[in-house]
Structure 1
Amino acid sequence: MAQIKNALIKTWNNEGLIDFAKTLAGYGVLIRSDEEQSEFFKKEGIYTEKFSLSSYPDIFKLLEEDNLIVTNLKPIGFLINDKTELSGYSNHIFLINHAAKRYEQHLTIVDPKDYTDVVERLRDNKIDLEFRKKLAAKALNYAIKYDIQLAKAIYNDKFPDILNMCFDKREDLRYGENYHQEAAFYVSNNRSPESVSSSTQLQGKKLSYNNIMDANNAIECIKEFDEPTVVIMKHATPTGIASSDNLVQAWKYAFETDTDSPYGGIVSINRRIDKDLAEELSKLFLEIIIAPSFADESREIFGKKKNLILLEVRGIDKPSMREDQEFRSVPDGLIIQDRDTKKIDYTDWKVVTEKKPSDEDIKTMVFGFKCVKWVRSNAIVFVKDKKTVGIGGGQTSRVDSSWIAVNKGKDKINGSIMASDAFFPFRDAVDVVAKDFKLKGIVQPGGSIRDKEIIDAANEYGIPMVFTGQR
């Protein structure tokens, strides 16, 4: 295999480049760069020979001699609207592909994070074939990523006939869904700021697969609410949700929904966490706390719990404008669908019972319908005064979810609104509640072939009921 004697350097991201180039020069490696980058190096006292990437023959000539290729590209947004830049991009991609495919002759570096490893291997004379293959594969994937982004920039088809996707590895995870499974977390280049993929971990142990899945649901759930709100999540389903201008009170209300389940859970909050709230949260063992920001005093309090994970997610304190797609994998396949971002509009709702809900009850129904969306189906949630008082979900029958929610809420069910994530197939889910408790209303999508039976049941108990027409 070829020894490293010459280096061709043409980069947009110059992070760590000066130290790397000086080290190469110290090992006697001749550095070549274009006119612009040569001037950059000259200011740092680094001698280079100049080259041109203006044509394919120029590139072939350079690759006859240069066996270390150090290069990276401008973000695609800089290129798409500039024909001159796009032409240079084509030559650049050709250089990466040509060099990487000839990995026995060329060592191709596209990521500044690899400079340290390359220097150490040069020092120890360990630029072996396996390492060359590793960097070559990375370079080829890097070039492919740009072509994929370019194709999408030229024509963004919602459901293209050929689907290619680009993700960068953010981190290796502590473990997968179970301890014996390995896992890693990959993130998209065009991710939105208010997502788990864009979160910043401020402290705590390494993330696991389950941490990310639970945190994702906690973030997506909290984004439903404009008012100051606390969401407690366990195994990707809420155990309590409450809104209040006093976040300490909101936390207490959410916790009171189910005082057993929050242990070891996740809390998401759509406002800055201050000292008072931090003191309350620190009384319970929690896996993760999520917020748009943390006051310094709260960081000091949480810092005493070294394993507690703090995730800062910018943007969850503002209305979300995100309307993109989500993906679900199956063995050898991928399902793509529009993200469920449809806003709840109570003006489209239909009152179907003899008794009408009050304006205040309608507001509570809106709150309840937002909550039940994030509980695993079949899902039933009881709410009042902008807080959950009973949650039942994840059951194969709606009546079982009703029974669970009632047993969680007990006497607090009286005077509450019952929210269902889908239509009632039978009246039993209403009967199991209304025979013992006084409800102020029911909100559900409607659409069952037995809707009339459910309406009759609500009328028998004197309960106002609304059909949303939306799951």
Structure 2
Amino acid sequence: MTVVTLPMPKRAIISVSDKTGIKEFAQGLVALGWEIISTGGTAKFLTENGIKVTPVADVTKFPEIMNGRVKTLHPAILAGILADQSKPTHLEQLEQLEIRPIDLVVVNLYPFEQVIQKNTDGFNNLRSQNLEAFENEAIENIDIGGPTMLRAAAKNFHSVAVVVDPHDYGTVLEELKKGDISLETKKRLATKVFAHTAKYDGAIANYFHSSLRATPSTSPGINSGSAAIPSNEIDSALPRNDFPDSLTLSFKKISDLRYGENPHQTAAFYRDADNGAEGIAGVEVLQGKELSFNNILDANAALNLIQEFDEPTAAVIKHNNPCGCAVAENITDAFTRAWDADPLSAFGGIVALNRTCTPEIAEALSKVFIEIVLAPDFTPESLELFKSKPNLRLLCLPRLNRHPALDAGSRNKRKDSKRVNGGLLVQDKDESVVTEKELKMATKKHPSKEEVYDMLFAWKVTKHCKSNAIVLAHNGATVGLGLGQTSRVGSVKIAIAQAMKQFNNVAVKQFVCASDAFFPFRDSVDELAKAGVTAIIQPGGSKNDGEAISAADEHNISMAFTGIRVFRH
């Protein structure tokens, strides 16, 4: 009599925190004759859904211990995953040790990132008042066994398939129904695992670094006494413990873009894994064509600018610079004044509002060419009017009017980065806020209440203009912008020319001027005086501050120092 030995069923180990689709996937495996090994909560979930599982303890002959901290860290599991099934010696060793191979690893990890996000406001500012309880929760959600199994399976992808993303369950089942999972698919799944575990470890490293941070010192204050502020005080360094020795950044692709900054460049858009939903990556596109690379850059510049303001504010942006910006009692008036600041440059730009878009604004914009309208909301009537321009992109971001630096309880500073050849520059994002009480009056004449209002308005706009930047403002609206020039007096002359053109070459009384850095000579002050400027706001800090102050006194101009420079390159 011949004894027929049936082949052992293939084995999958399943241990998931995210149960999405796992019941159907496991049912599909069982239907194909697979044995399922499972752990803890996953085993309980599958059993309750009528799916037969082999508890991991039955495989390891060792109980789960330490509240589940040690479950799968055992040779009976890891050797089964790591065995290269193309090598006879590996298979012989498994047989000698009575360990069966594991052919499929299905794991997603403890929700560490979700725990961190739940306890922060999206800008890495901690909500929880109980830091010890928060840290304990975070630590207990650092997965050890999961990443170990994932990395082991991904390393051994020739022999083992590994699934970390529930979206891949369908693909894996379809290939198994046809016989086996292709090597190409196994390699793709392994690639996804290594990206996932790198992101996971990066989130943990970033959390631990942030928990070690000392509270940053405040920005240099405004000196009393001498009007001239020494440049070494303006540029004094903040503590460097805000920046780790090794920096891990994690981004997830949202989409491929049609092209990059220019048509011959390819491009894609990625979301910040930590807080992308708080920015441009989190916008809802209500209408219009696909966003381009330049659209996204300009929309981001617009968002950064209008988040400076609490009052109704509108801005027109083009090539990452403002064409116009205005505040008013209502958003319609703010838009009208921002547009009128430079309607020629506004052609083909984008409009950003920090209040709901009104029908009046929609009607006006339906008659001109712009690329984008960005707002926290749109009235039904405005959406109906915009239908006449189906290619116009309407972007909705409900939290758009929120300036993170003004949030109560803000602790940690957001970071900006810029790529350079062979490296990355990282700095605190400039979320400085200057108020009237922080101004240092440098001249004999002090500004009026109305001038102070315009000075602070212009200062906020200046932060978002390419250096060298000069902003002329009147009654809560820009009237002249001189941007991106290599000489400060050159920017002054451009801003004045624009203002004179808009106001029919007649100097408007009570122009104010904001400069993103100090005036190295008196020439800029002399030019501003000719144009009718009555007040200037600037950082101070030049060795020639005295010369600029003397010029302002000669022209009866008020001048205030902020003590903060706001270059933008």
TM-score by length of 1: 0.91
> How far did 1:18 drift?
3.5
Give the letter for the 2:73 counterpart. Answer: S
The match for 1:187 is 271
Deviation, structure 1 residue 333:
0.5
Equivalenced residue count is 467
Retained in 1: the 8 A contact 2:110–2:141? no
Alignment partner of 1:59 is 2:153: no
CA-based RMSD: 2.6
Unaligned 5+ segments in structure 2 are: 1-8, 58-70, 82-99, 117-134, 214-241
Identify which of 313, 324, 333 aligns with 1:249: 333
**Aligned-pair CA distance for 1:414:** 1.4
Which residue of 1 is the match for residue 136 of structure 2?
81
Matched, 1:339 2:429: yes
Q: Is the 8 A contact 2:332 2:358 kept in 1?
A: no
Is 1:258 the equivalent of 2:345?
no
Within 1, Cα distance between the matches of 2:540 and 2:156?
Answer: 63
Which amino acid in structure 2 is aligned with residue 191 of structure 1? N
Question: What is residue 538 of structure 2 aligned with on the other side?
Answer: 444
Match of 1:462 among 548, 556, 560: 556
1:118 matches 2:208: no
Equivalent-residue separation in structure 1 for 2:436 and 2:162 (angstroms) = 58
Change (3 A) 1:223 1:22: same
What pairs up with 1:73-152 in 2 under 5 angstroms? 73-76=109-112, 78=115, 81-82=136-137, 85=140, 89-122=143-176, 127-152=181-206
CA contact (8 A) 1:193 1:315 kept: no
Change (3 A) 1:120 1:152: same
Q: 1:201 to 1:83 in 2, by over 3 A?
A: closer
* 1:427 corresponds to 2:522: yes
Residues 121, 240 of structure 1: CA spacing in aligned structure 2 closer, same or farther, 3 A cutoff? farther
Confirm or deny: 8 A CA contact 2:17 2:42 kept in the other structure: no
Counterpart secondary structure, 1:250: helix
The percentage of aligned residue pairs carrying the same residue is 40
- 8 A contact 1:348–1:468 mirrored in 2: yes
Preserved contact between residue 194 and residue 314 of structure 1 (Cα < 8 Å): no
**1:383 maps onto 2:473 in alignment:** yes
Q: Label 1:378 to 1:110 Cα distance change in 2 as closer, same or farther (>3 A).
A: same
1:332 to partner: Cα distance: 1.8
Worse overlay, 384-393 or 419-428: 419-428
In structure 2, how many angstroms separate the alpha carbons of the residues matched to 1:296 and 1:6? 56
CA contact (8 A) 2:56 2:72 kept: no
1:309 and 2:404 are equivalent in the alignment: no
* Aligned counterpart in structure 2 of residue 6 of structure 1, from 11, 30, 35: 11
Structure 1 residue corresponding to 2:314, chosen from 227, 230, 238: 230
Deviation at 1:340, TM superposition (A): 0.9
Distance in structure 2 (CA, Å) of the matches to 1:422 and 1:233? 22
Q: Which amino acid aligns with 1:81?
A: N
Q: Offset at 1:122?
A: 4.0
Following superposition, the deviation at residue 288 of structure 1 comes to: 1.9
Q: 2:284 aligns with which of 200, 215, 230?
A: 200
Tell me the SS of whatever aligns to 2:532.
coil
- Equivalent residue letter for 1:308: L
DSSP 3-state at the match of 2:553: helix
SS in 2 for 1:260: helix
Distance 1:45 1:240, change over 3 A: same
Task: Measure the CA separation in 2 of the matches of 1:84 and 1:251.
Answer: 49
Q: Which has the larger radius of gyration?
A: 2
How far off its partner does 1:351 sit? Answer: 2.0
CA displacement at 1:329 relative to structure 2: 1.0
User: Aligned equivalents of 1:203 and 1:238: distance in 2?
Assistant: 24
Pick aligned residue for 1:153 from 186, 197, 207: 207
TM-score computed with the length of structure 2 as normaliser: 0.76
Residues 21-36 of structure 1 aligned to structure 2 (within 5 Å): 21-36=26-41
Q: Shift of residue 213 of structure 1?
A: 1.7
- Which segments of 5 or more consecutive residues in structure 1 lack a partner in the other structure? none
8 Å contact kept, 2:323–2:342: yes
Distance 1:62 1:327 in 2: 44
Hey, what's the Cα distance between the residues in 2 that align with 1:381 and 1:297? 35
Cα deviation, residue 106, structure 1: 1.2
- Does structure 1 residue 330 correspond to structure 2 residue 448? no
| Stretch deviating more after TM superposition (236-245 or 42-51) | 42-51
Letter in 2 for 1:129: L
- Name the stretch that deviates more: 78-87 or 196-205: 78-87
1:318 aligns with 2:372: no
What is the Cα deviation at residue 108 of structure 1? Answer: 1.1
Aligned equivalents of 2:73 and 2:545: distance in 1?
71
- 2:312·2:355 contact (CA, 8 Å) conserved in 1? yes
Cα distance, 1:178–1:448 mapped onto 2, change above 3 Å: same
The 8 Å contact of residues 248 and 280 in structure 1, kept in 2 or not, is answered as no
| Aligned equivalents of 1:276, 1:120: Cα separation in 2 | 54
**Counterpart of 1:310 in 2: which secondary structure?**
strand
Verify: 1:220 aligned to 2:304, yes or no.
yes
| Distance change >3 Å, CA 355–CA 165, structure 1 → 2 | same
